[in-house]
Each structure stands twice: as C-alpha cells, then as structure tokens.
Amino acid sequence: MRQLHKALRDTHHLRHGGRMQYGLFLKGIGLTLEQALQFWKQEFIRGKMDPDKFDKGYSYNIRHSFGKEGKRTDYTPFSCLKIILNNPPGQGDYHGCPFRHSDPELLKQKLQSYKISPGGISQILDLVKGTHYQVACQKYFEITHNVDDCGFSLNHPNQFFIESQRILNGGKDMKKEPIQPETPQPKPSVQKTKDASSALASLNSSQEVDMEGLEDYFSD
C-alpha cells in the first residue's frame, strides 16, 4: 500500500489493478463512498485530468466496489494470499506484493530507502528467497515498529494497518470493523462507515480530501 500511495502521489494516476487494491484497502480502513469519490477525483485532477472525464470513466468503478452499481455486491479488501497469487503486476503497474513481485535488487534498494538496517534487509531477503513472502512482510513490520515479536501471523494488509495503529497509539485498540474474506459479499441495506483511525482524520473535510494524513503514515 505504501508503494501504491507513493505512485499515486507521484503520478496522480493508478491503473485498474492498483485502484482496486488500494481503493479497497482504503475502504477497509474507513473511507466512505463519498470520501472515496472525492479522494480519487481530487488526485486524478491534480494529474490534469478533466473532471468530466473522471466522472464518466472512473466513478462507476468506485461506486461498483461499494455495491452501488451492477450486481450490488459489496467488495472487501484483498488478503495477502489473493494479492500474492492473483493478477501479478505488469509494466506500469504498482499493485501486487513487493515481497513477491519485486526484483530482489529493487526490493533491496527500496528497503534501503526506508532506512532498514543492512541486517534487517538480509533477513527479509533471505525469507523472500525462500518464498516466505508473508513472513518477510511480518519481519518488515517488526523492524519498522521496533518489536522483537509482533505476536500475530500477518495475512492481510488491513491487519498490518490495524496492528500498526495499535502500536503507534500506545497499545490502544482501534475502532474497526472485522476483516472480511476477499470474496464479494451481499450488500447490506445500510452501509456502516466509521473512520478507522487518526490517519484518516485529514480525509474527512467536507471541502477537500487532504492526503497528508496517509502521507505522514506511509513516510514514517
């Protein structure tokens, strides 16, 4: 998600696979349909896209992911397993799992840019070499949060975010909806929406969706 967020900030655009993976992740941490439409439109317009083009070409898919179009199914965020096994990224894509889909040398450079120690990078790359991609991600979590043992098995990007926020908030649990399977589920009659954490606080303005809250989170 950090990779997708940076690509969106840098290019003001994501291809379909990236929009689906990141969009459903944001939905899972509390973004409402109205906020999602504003969030994506605001960023795409920064890339010089005409607002009418966004409304005609992109807003339908966002509403669809919230169960407002088509078969009215309410899509849930992708699990690690789904991201690792399905829809691998191609040239120009930023979705997928960095531990599964990145070239090892590029992954090493990325981890260096995140200020991971040489020893930590070696541990992560060894796990990647052994195809233990989720364990590699879990090691990345432990290193970046300065814990010896995170105490859970990491299997979902939204779980990573929830546990990260819990640690950053001093062990206080977040208000959160349970993580659902990645398969589409029937849409309930009323969509329940709550902000997941202070990381979304800056996304709640009725005037403009400011991305700085997530920018700060992903840059730490």
Q: Please report, to the nearest 10 degrees, the dihedral formed by the alpha carbons of residues 147, 152, 156, 161 taken in order.
A: -40
Angle at 122 between CA 22 and CA 83, to 5 degrees: 25
Q: What pLDDT shows up at residue 174?
A: 52
Q: Where are the alpha helices (DSSP H) in 12-97?
A: 16-28, 33-46, 51-57, 59-65, 80-85
User: Tens of pLDDT along 2-18?
Assistant: 999 999 999 999 999 99
Q: How far apart are CA 213 and CA 23, in angstroms?
A: 16
**E-assigned strand segments in the chain:** 73-74, 185-186
Greatest alpha-carbon span in the chain? 51
- pLDDT less than 70: residues of the chain: 172-220
Confirm if 160 and 79 have CB atoms less than 8 A apart: no
pLDDT at position 173 is: 59
Q: What is the pLDDT of residue 172?
A: 60
| pLDDT given for residue 51 in this prediction | 95
Quick one: pLDDT at residue 171? 73
Contact (CB, 8 A) for 44 and 58: yes
- Separation of alpha carbons 122 and 93, rounded Å: 26
Cα–Cα distance list, 87 to 31, 53, 81, 93, 186 (Å): 24, 26, 11, 11, 23
Please report the pLDDT score of residue 192 as a whole number.
37
- Say what the pLDDT of residue 216 is: 65
Quick one: pLDDT at residue 219?
63
CA-based angle 160:163:169, to the nearest 5?
135
CA 220 to chain centroid, in Å, comes to 15
Q: What is the pLDDT of residue 170?
A: 85
